[in-house]
Chain A
Amino acid sequence: MIRINCPYCGERDHSEFSYGGDATINYPSLDASEKEWTEAIFFRKNIKGFQFETWHHSNGCRMWLVVERSTVTHEIKSVKPCHPNLQKVVENNK
């Protein structure tokens, strides 16, 4: 079981969370072209090692998180809120 250290709730089982996806995608503006959207939606890297991914603490505080996780060992290096303002709050409270 992966244990994720939610910045708001503390360390919890991964079963409390829902997996989101690649956290490094820059979604294009809504009026961007079909091509740009195709890139953003359908093309993904298949990383061996650490990757940034989003997780939703859906059975917890409902925060969307960026988790830096190894796809090989499940080791987690960092967990941060996705929202920059929430990130700042967490940093300030450290």
Chain B
Amino acid sequence: MKTRRLDNYGKINRDKILSFSWDKKNYKGFEGDTLASALLANNIGIVGRSFKYHRPRGIFSSGVEESGALVTIGSKDRRDPNVRATTQELYNGLEASGQNAFPNVNFDLAGINNYLGRFFAAGFYYKTFMGIPPLEWGKGTAIWMFFEKFIRKAAGMGSASGLPDPDTYEHAHDFCDLIVVGSGPAGVAAALEAAEKKLDVILVEQDSLIGGNQLAENDFDNSQIKNQLENLGIKIMTRTTAFGLYDNCVVGLLERVTDHLSAPNVNIPRQRFWTIRAKHIIVGAGAIERHIAFNNNDIPGVMTVNASKHYLNRYGVLTGKRIVIATNNDSVYETAHQLSEAGANVTVLDSRTNFEIETNKSFEIRKGYVPYNINGSKKIDSLDISKNETINKSETINCDQVLLSGGWSPAVHLLSHRGVKPKWDYNNACFLPSDTKENITMVGSSRGLWNKNDCIASGIAGTTDALNRLGISKTNYFFPKPGGWKNPIQPLYEVKYKKSRSKSFVDYQHDVTTDDVRLAHREGFISVEHLKRYTTLGMANDQGKMGNIIGLSLMAELLNKEIPEVGTTVFRPPYTPVSIGALSGRNVGKHFRPLRVTPMHQWNIDHGAKMIEVGLYQRPWYYPKENETLSDSYIREASTVRKTVGICDVTSLGKIAIQGPDSTEFLNRIYSNDFSKLQVGKARYGIMLRDDGIVMDDGTSWRLAENEYFMTTSTGEAAKVMSWLEELLQTRWTDLNVNVTSVSEQWAGVSVAGPKSREVLNNCVDDSLVVTNNNLPFMGVTSTFLKGNIPCRIARISFSGELAFEVYVKSDFANTMMDLLWANAKKYDGCLYGLEALGALRVEKGHVTAAELDGRVTIDDAGLSKMASTKKSYIGSAMRKRGVLKNNDREILVGFFPTNLKETFNAGTIVCEKNNIKGQGIGRITSVTYSPELGHWIGLGFVKGGLDKWKDTNLVGADPVRNKQMNLKVVSPHMIDPKGERMYA
């Protein structure tokens, strides 16, 4: 196959030959090539199959607007689908393949869809398979759900690897005075001007090289510009796309760090996701050349004029031999000249009749002519052209390439992200950016300037605008007027030829044709937002970069309106796709969220703990001996606690220091029960309600001194309670003299529980008198020392229902405390117990946790009415009996036994009346355990009306998820030692 590479053109490095594969065949390219330029150089015309009709597709452009050459790069776990061949830099060993085709893009069996095209108009699948008569086979949705997977497979793009991503990604942050997006003449001028005025500047360029569209010029050399920028201290970020603008001048960037390298370096991330906080943003994002809609305008060989210029001058690839350029504007003539100089036979069709252009006559200009049909299927054979006034069969030109320029669309996308609607400019037939109050300035061709000098002037004006807005200067400036061509553009969006059935494409990527737009109009989808969603015009990768204006113009024509009256859809971030990997950065796997461990985490693991996540915390779950299973282990642990003694890490509880003269008053307001008379050296269990009367959290508060308390909260609610207390003190009760400090990390806590717990502690404290029943009665608190002079706080608090103590030391002493307690607990055949045993013990005792206090439960529902003081007002006291909260049939906390004590049940079981097993029943089981003490399964939960109503009734537990059903009886939630004799022992 002949190469299309020219010897004397291009800025590629011919000393460095790169080999790559396309659809498993090997080819060569050069350093500096993109995949697209290398494919073109190797004469590969068909690089993909279209979305719906599976038509052969070639390379349309040379940049991010590419909607034909979407390919899959890499293989196995590094397979990356839907990559634009035009932006993928070539590297040695690159593997690329076509997609949406079987067996390959040259011969695709689904190409038959092209001939069935009339059935595949906009909305076809939905209309057919969602059950509109006469094809209403059963229920619409079910039919759709059945067919959807086949449809999705047939119409599609590349597929993801389905394997874990082997690469790493990073999140990075930076600040600057000014960020300039785009390194064309305008962006560079703006950056230089700003740096000279001592602003801290970041210049962002999506390409690997700076220069913007100047890279398509044969005599452009960016080295001098680069030096200038660097000497002024400007941070240049190439291969970096500004994909979105956000509030307060925040810019999102995606930096492709290794996507152009053969062997990814494991020490650097593949991509970096940057958040830049700037004071001002200048956008010089350029403009995008549009195509023209006419029959078969998608045959491989069709390209934008500017793309061809890029391939010639940057990559040294002549994209055609016999080239026809179709245009409506002046921008193509330099390219036409250069292409013909490079050896192509060039004909320019200009839809305009009245215009003057200087040329050297090396190519033919057909004034007033337009193309209306391409002949050929996998490549262009010839082009039918006609006079523009009436489209009639007149002439056919033999050619192998058709270059199109239907005008230029300024890239207003980034400004659109800020909700700024562009305004239509009749003179230039394009949308121009509107003004904004935010610190964003558009410069260069993204504000509709078509020549270089105007672009440079606008860059400087843009920076002056920025300096003024930042209050640094007060200088007058003006922007050049949009435009800059010698002859005005003549709007040309579609060449309609009614005698043909061929397809005329508006949006290449989604196979949206001009007929689809007309169909949308006929069916009433005339608003641009409806048009977009009905036809998928401008969706997916393309995001309306090339086809949007054509679609709008067609709709405007159908509605007999002007384009600005039809409006335009809102561009949203990202400008070009951002990989999920980059979005997640390092927050994957174990780093998905913060991990919290207690100071005795390693001690627990060393002593055989299996861990479980509770919120962010890792807590000991159970401590299996030898071959014990979870249930063997927790039953043994719970029994040991009841029999002798157990030690459990409870450090994850929230801990808050409350200090100040009004501390007592503060606690009395936030807890539902009375705290006004709590003595120094005593602790009290308390319940906090929300403003609306629902239970927020429970815990204990210990009075350490006259004006000092130590509060514990549940593990899961710790952060919320802390914020709540701060909110109350800083916003509502600003007259209270109270200070709250989170001390959760500062204290390590254990529970020592069981009949032998006092003996164990006795051996561990310096002064054994402090833990006697007299000196430390139930709910007593003392600050004392563990052996070895370790300061500690001990409270006689019981969650298990046994004689029990909570011991807290400063976190640094955690391991010493554990060693000490464990050495002594072993003497009494004690055990270490985990969360599962803790759960079993508290369920037996009827103590509630987050499983019960789920944000729907009142203090009365939880059976804790006696905790609600009637002698004072507190947060939630006015609301706790409002409306539905005072109904008699609310679900009340109860215990459950299986009627047949050999049966088991699970949390989540729905409690129903016999013969009425449906819906939400009359209650639910929230926590279950095997009770070592009772010898069978027990549960906690709620039932409408509570124990009094159902005491002697046989109920049914329905567990449809596990396909289980059992008979239940309702019992008191206090399933063991209801009088609490053990706790007080």
Are the CB atoms of A1 and B731 closer together than 8 Å? no
Chain A residue nearest to B727 in the complex (CB)? A64
Q: Interface 1/0s, chain A 30-42, versus B by CB < 8 A? A: 1111101110111
Are the CB atoms of A58 and B723 closer together than 8 Å? yes
Which residues on the A side are within 8 Å of B875 (C-beta)? 30
Instruction: Tell me if A77 is interfacial: C-beta within 8 Å of chain B.
Output: no
Are the CB atoms of B879 and A34 closer together than 8 Å? yes
Q: Interface 1/0s, chain B 733-754, versus A by CB < 8 A? A: 0100000000000000000000
Are the CB atoms of B874 and A64 closer together than 8 Å? no
Instruction: Tell me if B277 is interfacial: C-beta within 8 Å of chain A.
Output: yes
Are the CB atoms of B246 and A1 closer together than 8 Å? yes
User: For this complex, into which size category does the number of interface residues on chain B fall?
Assistant: 20 to 34
Which residues on the A side are within 8 Å of B877 (C-beta)? 30-31
Task: Given A1-B250, A2-B248, A37-B878, verify A31-B731 contact (CB < 8 Å).
Answer: no
Q: Interface 1/0s, chain A 44-86, versus B by CB < 8 A? A: 0000000000101010001110000000011000000111111
- When the two chains form the complex, which single residue of B437, B727, B873, B882 contacts A20, counting CB atoms closer than 8 Å? B727
Instruction: Tell me if B796 is interfacial: C-beta within 8 Å of chain A.
Output: no
Which residues on the A side are within 8 Å of B726 (C-beta)? 56, 62, 64
CA distance A31 to B669 in the complex (A): 11
Which of B719, B730, B877, B882 gathers the greatest number of chain A CB atoms within 10 Å? Answer: B730
- When the two chains form the complex, which single residue of B275, B732, B878, B882 contacts A1, counting CB atoms closer than 8 Å? B275
Which residues on the B side are within 8 Å of A74 (C-beta)? 247-248
Are the CB atoms of B731 and A64 closer together than 8 Å? yes
- When the two chains form the complex, which single residue of A3, A32, A40, A41 contacts B248, counting CB atoms closer than 8 Å? A3
Which residues on the A side are within 8 Å of B719 (C-beta)? 58
Within 8 A of B (CB), among A1-45: 1-3, 13, 18, 20, 23, 27, 29-34, 36-38, 40-42
Which residues on the A side are within 8 Å of B246 (C-beta)? 1
Are the CB atoms of A1 and B248 closer together than 8 Å? yes
CA distance A33 to B248 in the complex (A): 43
Are the CB atoms of A18 and B691 closer together than 8 Å? no
- When the two chains form the complex, which single residue of A18, A23, A31, A41 contacts B723, counting CB atoms closer than 8 Å? A18
Are the CB atoms of B669 and A30 closer together than 8 Å? yes
Task: Given A1-B247, A74-B247, A84-B734, verify A37-B727 contact (CB < 8 Å).
Answer: no
Q: Interface 1/0s, chain B 848-886, versus A by CB < 8 A? A: 000000000000000000000000011101110110000
Are the CB atoms of B731 and A54 closer together than 8 Å? yes
Are the CB atoms of A27 and B732 closer together than 8 Å? yes
Within 8 A of A (CB), among B704-742: 719, 723, 726-727, 729-732, 734
Which residues on the B side are within 8 Å of A82 (C-beta)? 730-731, 734
Which residues on the B side are within 8 Å of A38 (C-beta)? 879, 882
Within 8 A of A (CB), among B117-176: none
A57 CB, nearest partner CB in chain B, Å: 10
A34 CB, nearest partner CB in chain B, Å: 5
Which residues on the A side are within 8 Å of B248 (C-beta)? 1-3, 74
Give the interface SS of chain B, mostly helix, strand, loop or mixed: mixed
CA distance A52 to B879 in the complex (A): 26
CA distance A38 to B876 in the complex (A): 11
CA distance A85 to B730 in the complex (A): 9
Instruction: Tell me if B80 is interfacial: C-beta within 8 Å of chain A.
Output: no
Which residues on the A side are within 8 Å of B692 (C-beta)? 41-42
B194 CB, nearest partner CB in chain A, Å: 21
Which residues on the A side are within 8 Å of B734 (C-beta)? 82-85
Are the CB atoms of A56 and B727 closer together than 8 Å? yes
Chain A residue nearest to B692 in the complex (CB)? A41
B186 CB, nearest partner CB in chain A, Å: 26
B898 CB, nearest partner CB in chain A, Å: 41
User: For this complex, into which size category does the number of interface residues on chain A fall?
Assistant: 20 to 34
B53 CB, nearest partner CB in chain A, Å: 42
CA distance A33 to B879 in the complex (A): 9
Which of B691, B873, B878 gathers the greatest number of chain A CB atoms within 10 Å? Answer: B878
CA distance A31 to B875 in the complex (A): 9
Task: Given A32-B878, A38-B879, A38-B882, verify A2-B247 contact (CB < 8 Å).
Answer: yes
Are the CB atoms of A83 and B247 closer together than 8 Å? no
Are the CB atoms of B730 and A41 closer together than 8 Å? no
- When the two chains form the complex, which single residue of B275, B731, B878 contacts A30, counting CB atoms closer than 8 Å? B878
Which residues on the B side are within 8 Å of A23 (C-beta)? 731
Are the CB atoms of B878 and A83 closer together than 8 Å? no
Which residues on the B side are within 8 Å of A2 (C-beta)? 247-248
Are the CB atoms of A30 and B879 closer together than 8 Å? no
Which residues on the B side are within 8 Å of A37 (C-beta)? 691, 878-879
Chain A residue nearest to B875 in the complex (CB)? A30
Chain B residue nearest to A29 in the complex (CB)? B873
Which residues on the B side are within 8 Å of A73 (C-beta)? 437
A73 CB, nearest partner CB in chain B, Å: 8
CA distance A53 to B729 in the complex (A): 17
Which residues on the B side are within 8 Å of A27 (C-beta)? 691, 732
Q: Interface 1/0s, chain B 269-282, versus A by CB < 8 A? A: 00000010100000
CA distance A55 to B246 in the complex (A): 20
A87 CB, nearest partner CB in chain B, Å: 10
B910 CB, nearest partner CB in chain A, Å: 30
Which residues on the B side are within 8 Å of A32 (C-beta)? 878
Are the CB atoms of B731 and A83 closer together than 8 Å? yes
CA distance A31 to B879 in the complex (A): 10
Which residues on the B side are within 8 Å of A62 (C-beta)? 726
Which of A13, A33, A64, A81 gathers the greatest number of chain B CB atoms within 10 Å? Answer: A64
Task: Given A3-B248, A74-B247, verify A63-B879 contact (CB < 8 Å).
Answer: no
CA distance A54 to B732 in the complex (A): 12
A3 CB, nearest partner CB in chain B, Å: 4
B824 CB, nearest partner CB in chain A, Å: 40
Are the CB atoms of B873 and A30 closer together than 8 Å? yes
Chain A residue nearest to B690 in the complex (CB)? A41
CA distance A64 to B246 in the complex (A): 25
CA distance A56 to B731 in the complex (A): 11
CA distance A84 to B882 in the complex (A): 33
Which residues on the B side are within 8 Å of A85 (C-beta)? 734
B857 CB, nearest partner CB in chain A, Å: 18
Which residues on the A side are within 8 Å of B723 (C-beta)? 18, 56, 58
CA distance A30 to B878 in the complex (A): 7
Which residues on the A side are within 8 Å of B731 (C-beta)? 20, 23, 54, 64, 82-83
A65 CB, nearest partner CB in chain B, Å: 9
Within 8 A of A (CB), among B213-259: 246-248, 250
Task: Given A30-B873, A33-B878, A58-B723, verify A81-B691 contact (CB < 8 Å).
Answer: no
Chain B residue nearest to A26 in the complex (CB)? B732
CA distance A42 to B691 in the complex (A): 10
Are the CB atoms of A3 and B727 closer together than 8 Å? no
Which residues on the A side are within 8 Å of B669 (C-beta)? 30
- When the two chains form the complex, which single residue of B247, B437, B730, B879 contacts A64, counting CB atoms closer than 8 Å? B730
Are the CB atoms of A34 and B730 closer together than 8 Å? no
CA distance A62 to B881 in the complex (A): 33
CA distance A29 to B692 in the complex (A): 14
Chain A residue nearest to B691 in the complex (CB)? A41
B558 CB, nearest partner CB in chain A, Å: 34
Which of A63, A83, A86 gathers the greatest number of chain B CB atoms within 10 Å? Answer: A83
Which of A32, A34, A54, A73 gathers the greatest number of chain B CB atoms within 10 Å? Answer: A34
Are the CB atoms of A83 and B277 closer together than 8 Å? no
CA distance A73 to B877 in the complex (A): 39
Chain A residue nearest to B731 in the complex (CB)? A82
Which residues on the B side are within 8 Å of A3 (C-beta)? 247-248, 250, 277
Which residues on the A side are within 8 Å of B727 (C-beta)? 20, 54, 56, 64
Pull 19 A–B residue pairs with CB atoms less than 8 Å apart, ordered by A: A1-B248, A1-B250, A1-B277, A2-B247, A2-B248, A13-B275, A27-B691, A27-B732, A30-B873, A31-B877, A32-B878, A36-B878, A41-B692, A56-B723, A64-B730, A64-B731, A73-B437, A83-B729, A86-B730
Not counting A30-B878, A64-B731, A86-B730, a sample of 13 additional A-B residue pairs whose C-beta atoms are within 8 angstroms of each other reads A1-B247, A2-B247, A3-B247, A3-B277, A18-B723, A29-B873, A30-B669, A30-B877, A31-B877, A42-B692, A58-B719, A81-B730, A82-B734
What are the nearest 7 A-B pairs in CB distance? A30-B873, A64-B730, A31-B873, A3-B248, A1-B250, A82-B731, A37-B878
